Structure 1
Amino acid sequence: MLILHGKQSLNEDVRDAVADKRKQGWELDVRLTWEAGDAQRLVNEALAAGHRHIVAGGGDGTLRDIAEALALAETKASLTIL
């Protein structure tokens, strides 16, 4: 699961990278944060759906929110920061 700050939705480099990974056979779900609490909700949804690897992209606040949500979930899921 790739979780990005909402402003990244218009980033063509990000869109191209996601398209490339999908062409390579990756099953890559993409979610965007928009307001406070989104990172926590999206991480919880990802874990409930069985995702065990979270890729995070955005600014300091978005990355902190995602890392904090994973820590609070007490999971063994891994985190990659773009």
Structure 2
Amino acid sequence: MPDSCDKPQYPELSRRRNETGKVALRFFIDETGMVVMRQVERSSGYQLLDNAAAAGLSLCKFRPATFDGKPTGAWTRMEYVFRLE
């Protein structure tokens, strides 16, 4: 469903603390393609990573779902993995 979606920035403090994890987000995209509601469905265990993932949705451009050929709102999910290299 995303037309484009850059990975969110890894929080610097999380890097220094060696925090890694996967964040599962659930969010609602309205008929214009805007995210209007979002929630962390599964936490990484680190608040900074969860917040970065939720904020990362603002970096995404979404195409709305359609019903009978017309744009409509819909819930969807996305996961972000924060991994130190």
**Scaled by the length of structure 2, what TM-score is found?**
0.24
Q: Please state which structure has a larger fraction of its residues in helix.
A: 1
Higher relative contact order (CA 8 A, sep 6+): 2
**Scaled by the length of structure 1, what TM-score is found?**
0.25
Tell me which structure has the larger Cα radius of gyration: 2
